Structure 1
Amino acid sequence: MPQLRARLGFLGALAITTSGVVCLGAAGATAATSPATAPRSAFNASYDGGARVPGLVGEYLATGPNAVTNGTVIGPDYTQGTLASEAVGREAVQLTAPGQYVQFTLSGNANAVDVDYALPQGSSGSLALYVDGRKVTDLQLTSAYSYIDTPQIYGSKTRHFYDDVRVLIGRELHRGDTVRLQADANDTALPYTVNLADFYQVAAPAQQPPNSISVLSEGADPTGATDSSAAFAATIAAADARHETVWIPAGDFAIDTPLQVDRASIEGAGNWYSRVRSNEFIDNASAVPGPVNLRDFAILGDTVGRHDDSTANAINGSLGTGSVVNSLWIQNANVGLWLQYGNTGDVVKNSVILDTDADGLNLNGNATGVVVRDDFIRNTGDDGLAIWSYPAVDSHDVFAWDTVEQPNLANGIAEYGGTDNTITHDVITDSNALGSGLTISNEQFASPGFTTLAGTIDVSHDTVIRSGAMNPNWGHPMSAIQIDAYDYAISGVALNLDALNVYDTPYSVFELVSGDGTGLPITGLRITNVNIAGVGTVVFQGETQGSAYVAGVHATGVGVAGTVQDQYPPATPQFQFQLGSGNTGWSLTPTLDYFPAPAS
């Protein structure tokens, strides 16, 4: 969710190398070779975190070490509203003429690929896919779900340029095999911008389990030509009466009317095979008993533009108590899962959420003991994952082992209020304008009913990469990690940030702010055992009053010495730091009363 305060200050364009050294400029060309320096990946075995999604065997950036191209590399870039700045890695490859390509060399087995790409606005067309030099298929690409405008969100620009297309290759690929994406003579939607390719090892479709009822038995249409909403509803009712599972076989099923589900177990043949075509599959507009278990199918929408005034989210409302959402693939929806009214002890795991116009997943109040783990979220039009304690508290919830890439408006992971919640072992990359990689905030957005931060908020073992950007409303940069006493002071809460890794930050690492501009204080904050590598400006950016205990913060490649103390309103006291042992590579002095430009 966006910040709305306006301030004056440094505003400029910049780019940053993977070593953390910042330079001006944003584009260049390359021969058919790998780039000399590749962006740091979100998937790395050395990280103490990140999603372990079943079947995902590797993410290969178009400018990464496993890729070669004769196209044009764009970026790296951190300016708002550009193709390069929205890309994972802040750079991509453009194919501008027939014969240009990006080629990936596999380091392991795979049989399917998902390509993250962008086309010019209003265009669609094909792009050839070759395996070991032989053409396999034409990928069908579109810009229909891109180029979102939200004038109601102050400071936003046209954005959300990328989309995804996935395909089962039809053969087993092995280490050393090559997959080439090439603009052939009949591929005319130029230029093609290729960001990355995710390779998967997809199992054969599952068979219908015993004690289940197929939606085909109630007349569901597996071709997607006719609406299957009534057939699904009838199957859910019949299965509930017999305490059996609802089975979605392989096929395409149109759901034009959202389903209201008090309790059910709905299972598919696999999320590459059982495909529900719907912008809103489930809409439970009040608390349900549950459980509503969902497993092994895809929800594929065709939402165009953001709809904050609508319930048109892939899964909306209450799932009740003890529900398990496992191995879903959600794409091109307004929101993946907007959970509200009542969700207790639910688990969302092993799922992929791509290309949403707003949030990936939001716990919108009344969520207790919900665990969101091992989920992969990319290209969201708002927060990737969010805890929002409105209109009632979210408590004892956990975001763990998730990977969030490329949120193109707000934050990677955000907590707005809540009690005794945990954010741990997650990886966040490439947050864009109006957001940070990770935000802990008392911004309420709506009232009455918001519940402020309380109890103990534990943030640990998370990795934040290339996050933070120039905020067009404030006129100064947002940090990789933001602590924000926006509408209420942060007090009476133990806020622990421990064992974090922060890499390749374009501006500062920690921002301590009262985003509504009233100078509310931050207390109860402990920042310990943080490894920082590559910072454009300073480690700490103080903008409000308060205090924090800081120990074991080790930084290398810091661009600007000292600490920013630019409080707003101007009479607000400076933020105070109580330093413990083990702080290296950065300093509190000199005190900067302005936001410096990144070092060149």
Structure 2
Amino acid sequence: MTDHRSIHALRKDRKVQAGATAAALALAGLGLLVAAPAHGSTTTAGTAPVGLTQVAAAAANASGAVLPGMTEYEAEGAQSTTNGKLIGPDYTQGDLATEASGRQAVQLTGQGQYLQFKLTAAANAVDLHYAVPQGASGKLSVYVNGTKLSTELSLTSAYSYISTGGIAGSKTHKFYDDVRLKLPSEAAVGSTVKFQVDSGDTALPYTLDVADFFDVAAPAAQPAGSISVVSDGADASGGGDSTNAFRTAIAAAAAANVPVWIPQGTFRITSALQVNKATIVGAGSWYSQLATNEFINNTSAVSGPVNLSGFAILGSTVGRHDDSTANAINGSLGSGSTVNGLWIQDTNVGFWLQYGNSGITVENSVVLSTDADGLNFNGNATNSTVKNNFLRNTGDDGLALWSMPAPDTGITLSGNTIVQPSLANGIAVYGGSNNTVTGNTIADTNALGSGIAISNQAFLSPFTPLSGTITVSNNTLLRTGALNPNWGHAMGAIRFDSYNSAFSNTTVNLSGNAIDDSPYAAFEIVSGGGSGYAVNGLNFTNNTVNWTGTTVFQAETTGSASVGGLTAANVKVAGSYNYGYPNNTAGTFAINQGSGNSGWSSTPVLTSFPSPSALPPTGPGPGTPTTAPPTTAPPTTQPPAGTDLALHAAVTDTGHTQNYTAGNTVDGDANSYWESTDNAFPQSLTVDLGATRTVGRLVLKLPPASSWATRTETLSVLGSTDNSSYTTLSGSAGRTFNPATGNAVTITLPSGTSARYLRLTFTGNTGWPAGQLSELEAYAS
């Protein structure tokens, strides 16, 4: 579920110069944002994905999924070489690098460009996580040990680029998708696999994020006595409609109390099946494939068990559909069901489990590129387990417990890996009682969510708030917690939110968790609905924090927590933010410190959000070798005409206010902006184009909103090839930004200008006592 909260006005919004009340602003809604894992290493066969379990183990948490035969390689990692363009790192909402695993990816922009991996484990199959431009589709060539395969990868944007206009603060997201390929033979350790743009591969640019290689076992044999769907007329070629054949086989198998067998092949299912009780078995998720958006739809409680194993559900949903049931597995599985070894991709939701589920186990499965949640227990679930699953690029929460219309009770989320939720939380517990989140690894989450959220946000009624004991233990969070897009509001890696009601009947025990490289605070305590409900019953024991962009604690409501054994290092801002709403007084949340704390303090008490001193480090995580990836530098030729040379370039400033950082000026989003330190002219922005380029003109923008009044900013443009000696390219002058004409200013530079570094120096602004800029675009002509 996406958190699109409303809250009190935390600061004066610089876009609104006059006339907007705090109450009106509160109605705009509030969302969150989150961040990324390590890269630069790979796993061996039988271990979990790179940068996830390995880093977790280094942090003394053996957390995350372990999928046999899977080895994951980052595009920017130590086993990769490329002559393409490395993008990132970035933390800007709605950006390709931001949504990439590790906040970095490689772009192939022309014929002959490639990304190559050297295998550290044998593999016979690969899944490539990629993005192509919106509306584009095409082929990409694959080479193994220098020999081009006869089969090319088919890439498409059809199931990406989701817009959710009804969710405040959301932008178009879920840029990436997945494509998988069985190799013609096993590639041994030391083999090279290359993805290259050849003649006819035209979906440029190709953005390649991560490749998951698999050593897939031989297909499973048909269980003795089982009924094959083919014997009832199913078409394994995928050409015919196999829906009725599946229905017939499932009914016959239920009557005979034997399994249903899905052999190798692709089977097209055109309408969902209602299944009261069954055991449905495939030859393996790389062999038995169902082409459908919705396989099972039990819209009322069934007796069960409905056991599912060894097949893939490959959907084709276009856009998010909260009003549909186009979820791979929807509704009830009954009692005692086991789901084991499924692969779900490109459906609306992976598992939406409601109407009564008891004793369910979902394990050893892969969920990729869904439009909304990966898995959600939507109330009425008891004593169930979700363990050892790998989820990536979900369009909402990775894993969620939502106690509507009845409580989820006794649920355990254990040993899962969740990467790149592109809109909401890694793991969210909305209400319910006696639930456990343990041993998971969460990384790379994005806007409108935290790494882990423990929340009383109801969304709909009837809702059951938190009660009993909630356990959050031994989880690893890598670069989680970021910037709320609605308010420029810093969000913590783990969030406790009394959104609709107080934490008054629950104890939340947090122990053994490791929070690494959070761009803002490690722990946030908030009442996101704006009513100031208290958060009590928090017990912190033996947690570790390594690197925060701001503080360890960010408390925004009343209540208390007991904290012992919390060790922190590399905390960038001293003290704690502790400013309770609605009291608007300092220190209203009590942080009661026991023994064993080090590296942080609850004092001084901060009453305004601190700006992060820097973004989190990139590259390998704690305990991982810091060897630089042997990535080949891209050619330094001039990019094609019309290219914004400054887009996603490195940029610095001499000062900024709150979270209005320099990075906002090169993110491609005119709605975000940089604002310099107030009342402190002169102030400068310096952008590094990455190589010396011919630059003919600059386009400067402010947000295209009617609430931005016309203003004139006095600024000059300087250029340099070495970041040391600068020459004036355009002298200091007033530049007028008028919303009626797009709030943009074009500056023409002298003919023949060559520069790698461009610097804007601001000395005045008639609209606000600071430099302000939303986009700095540079063009060759």
User: What's the TM-score bracket when you normalise by the shorter of the two chains?
Assistant: over 0.9
- The residue number in structure 2 matching 1:384 is 398
Q: CA contact under 8 A between 1:9 and 1:475: conserved in structure 2?
A: no
Q: Which residue in the other structure is 1:97 paired with?
A: 110
Q: 1:28 is matched with which residue?
A: none
Q: Structure 2: which amino acid aligns with 1:115?
A: L
Native 8 Å contact 2:415 2:441 kept in 1: yes
Give the match for residue 5 of structure 1: 6
Partner of 1:86, secondary structure, is: coil
Deviates more, 1:173-182 or 1:426-435: 173-182
**Of 62, 68, 77, the match for 2:75:** 62
CA offset at residue 405 of structure 1? 0.3
* Counterpart Cα distance in 1 of 2:13 and 2:84: 31
**Distance in 1 between residues matched to 2:391 and 2:364, nearest whole Å:** 11
| Contact 2:376 2:401 survives alignment (8 Å) | yes
Residue 550 (1) aligns with residue 563 (2): yes
Give the CA deviation at 1:201.
1.0
SS of structure 1 residue aligned to 2:409: coil
Q: Determine the structure 2 residue equivalent to 1:521.
A: 534
How far is the alpha carbon of 1:43 from its aligned partner?
3.2
Partner residue in 2 for 1:146: 160
Unaligned segments of structure 1, at least 5 residues: 21-32
1:313 pairs, out of 315, 327, 339, with 327
- Specify the SS of the correspondent of 1:238: helix
Q: What SS does the aligned partner of 2:101 have?
A: coil
- Partner Cα distance (2:81, 2:523) in 1: 36
- 1:64/1:43 Cα in 2 relative to 1: closer, same or farther (>3 Å)? farther
User: What letter corresponds to residue 207 of structure 1 in structure 2?
Assistant: A
Corresponding position: 1:460 with 2:461: no
**Which residue of structure 2 aligns with residue 284 of structure 1?**
298
Report what 2:269 is aligned to: 255
**TM-score, length-scaled by structure 2:** 0.72
Cα deviations across residues 415-452 of structure 1 (Å, max 9, x unaligned)?
A: 0001111110000001111100110001111012x111
CA apart distance, 1:340? 0.2
CA distance in structure 2 between the partners assigned to 1:17 and 1:270 by the alignment: 31
1:386·1:415 contact (CA, 8 Å) conserved in 2?
A: yes
Answer whether contact 2:38 2:52 (CA < 8 A) is retained: no
The counterpart of 1:500, out of the listed 502, 505, 513, is: 513
Amino acid at match of 2:52: A
Give the distance between the partners of 1:407 and 1:216, measured in 2 at CA: 37
2-structure distance, mates of 1:588, 1:64: 38
For the 8 Å contact 1:3–1:515, the answer to whether it is kept is no
The CA deviation at 1:62 is 0.6
Conservation of the 8 A alpha-carbon contact between 2:106 and 2:207: yes
Deviations 1:304-338 (A, max 9, x none): 11111111110000000000000000000000000
Count matched residues: 581
In structure 2, do the counterparts of structure 1 residues 523 and 415 end up closer, same or farther at CA, with 3 Å as the change threshold?
same
Q: 1:260-304: CA deviations, max 9, x gaps? A: 000000000110010001111000000000000000000010001
Q: Which stretch shifts more, 570-579 or 377-386?
A: 570-579
Correspondence for 1:303: 317
Q: Return structure 1 stretches of 4+ with deviation > 3 angstroms.
A: 6-12, 14-20, 570-573
Q: Contact (CA 8 Å) 1:221, 1:227: kept in 2 or not?
A: yes
Q: Any conservation in 1 of the 2:36–2:478 contact (CA below 8 Å)? A: no
Q: CA deviation at 1:474?
A: 3.4
Kept in 1: contact 2:63–2:474 (CA 8 A): yes
What is the alpha-carbon distance in structure 2 between the residues aligned to residue 225 and residue 139 of structure 1? Answer: 21
Matches of 2:11 and 2:111, distance apart in 1: 44
Q: For 1:428-447, what aligned pairs fall within 5 Å after superposition?
A: 428-447=442-461
* Deviation at residue 560 of structure 1 after TM alignment: 1.1
SS in 2 for 1:566: strand
1:418 aligns with 2:419: no
- For residues 11 and 191 of structure 2, the distance between their equivalents in structure 1, rounded to whole angstroms, comes to 50
Conservation of the 8 A alpha-carbon contact between 1:5 and 1:473: no
- Whole-angstrom CA distance in 2 between matches of 1:62 and 1:74: 10
* In structure 1, distance between residues paired with 2:383 and 2:34: 41
Q: Is 1:343 equivalent to 2:344 in the alignment?
A: no
Letter in 2 for 1:383: D
Aligned 8 A contact 2:36 2:103 in 1: no
Contact persistence 1:15–1:75 (CA under 8 A): no
Q: SS at 2:245's partner residue?
A: helix
Q: In the alignment, is residue 354 of structure 1 matched against residue 368 of structure 2?
A: yes
Deviations 1:379-432 (A, max 9, x none): 011000000111001001100010000001100000000111111000000111
Contact 1:8–1:475, Cα closer than 8 Å, also in 2: no
More moved, 98-107 vs 369-378: 98-107
Paired residues of 2:50 and 2:73 also in contact (CA < 8 A)? no
Tell me which residue corresponds to 2:648. Answer: none
- 2:62 aligned with 1:41, yes or no? no
The corresponding residue for 1:24 is: none
Residue 469 (structure 1) shift? 1.9
Counterpart amino acid of residue 339 in structure 1 = L
* Aligned-residue offset at 1:473: 2.2
CA offset at residue 17 of structure 1?
10
- In structure 1, the partner of 2:409 is 395
Q: Distance in 1 between matches of 2:340 and 2:86?
A: 37
| Aligned-partner Cα distance in 2 for 1:534–1:65 | 23
Q: Secondary structure at the match of 1:111?
A: strand
Give, as a single letter, the amino acid of the residue that structure 2 aligns with 1:517.
Answer: G
Q: Distance in 2 between matches of 1:221 and 1:174?
A: 34
Out of 216-225 and 402-411, give the one that drifted further.
216-225
- Whole-angstrom distance in 2 between the partners of 1:388 and 1:10: 34
Shift of 1:591: 1.3
Work out whether 1:486 is the aligned partner of 2:499: yes
CA 1:15–1:232 in structure 2 vs 1: closer, same or farther (change >3 Å)? Answer: closer
1:54 maps to amino acid = P
In structure 2, stretches of 5+ residues that fail to align are: 15-32, 42-48, 615-781
Q: Using the alignment, how far apart are the partners of 1:535 and 1:180 within structure 2?
A: 37
Corresponding residue number in structure 1 for 2:701: none
Counterpart in 2 of 1:23?
none
**Structure 1 position 162 matched with structure 2 position 172:** no
Aligned amino acid, residue 4 of structure 2: Q
**Structure 2 residue identity aligned to 1:382:** D
The 5 A counterparts of 1:53-202 are 53-56=67-70, 58-136=71-149, 137-202=151-216
The change in CA–CA distance for 1:171 and 1:11 in structure 2 (over 3 A counts) is farther
Separation of aligned partners in 2, 1:570 and 1:474 = 20
CA distance in 2, matches of 1:17, 1:11: 28
State the distance in 1 between where 2:268 and 2:497 align.
43
Measure how far apart 1:216 and its partner are.
Answer: 0.8
Compute the displacement of 1:237 (Å). Answer: 0.4
Q: Using the TM superposition, name which of 100-109 and 146-155 deviates more.
A: 100-109
Alpha-carbon contact 1:10-1:475 (below 8 Å) kept: no
Q: 2:544 maps to which residue? A: 531
Take 1:16 and 1:201, find their aligned partners in 2: how far apart are those partners?
A: 29
**Cα gap change, 1:11 to 1:229, in 2 (>3 Å):** farther
* Separation (CA, whole Å) in 1 of partners of 2:325 and 2:87: 37
Structure 2 match to 1:406: 420
| 1:8 to partner: Cα distance | 4.3
Q: Distance in 2 between matches of 1:259 and 1:559?
A: 54
Q: CA offsets, 1:472-494, max 9 Å, x none?
A: 22330211110111101012211
Question: How far, CA to CA, are the matches of 2:354 and 2:409 in structure 1?
Answer: 13
Matches of 1:347 and 1:228, distance apart in 2: 28
TM-score (norm 1): 0.94
Q: Give identity over the alignment, percent.
A: 57
Q: Decide whether the 8 Å contact of 1:10 with 1:596 is kept in 2.
A: no
**Kept in 2: contact 1:10–1:597 (CA 8 A):** no
Offset at 1:373?
Answer: 0.4
Relative to structure 1, the CA distance from residue 348 to residue 277 in structure 2 (aligned partners, 3 Å threshold; closer, same or farther) is same
